[in-house]
A = this chain, B = another copy of it.
């Protein structure tokens, strides 16, 4: 079983990325956080990616491009970005968290191949019906969900 990252998701054009930077900037401002070059460099690196990556991959990637960052700052910035909803953090099955950018993309869920580890995205509007109904039934105010399907992809069957 060979796990591999998957390139997927829409591209981010320059206009959208401008909006992302502004959103991050104002979030930092309103929360009393400084606007450091490291934070924006990390944001940029994340938005140039299209896959689900872990903190270390991001760190190594920036190192290889001669950005001078530390793991501590990568983790710190990932947390801030998660808090302001520009990044989504996933705890799939492995020990380490996976992240993906989140601005301007349709809400989606994931399909994971147990054979090769491939991660595929999908959307299904019916999930909203389920969340709102269950929330009402259980007296919860639901504001988020994670749905992950597991199986074998076309290549890994038979």
Contacts and interface: CB of A to CB of B under 8 A. Distances in A.
Interface of A: 91-93, 111, 113, 120, 122, 124, 126-127, 129-131, 133-135, 137-154, 157
Copies of this polypeptide in the complex? 2
A130 B134 contact: no
A103 to B, nearest CB: 20
A122 B157 CA distance: 31
A142 B149 contact: yes
B141 A152 contact: yes
A126 B146 CA distance: 15
Given A91-B91, A91-B93, A145-B147, A140 B124 contact: no
A119 to B, nearest CB: 11
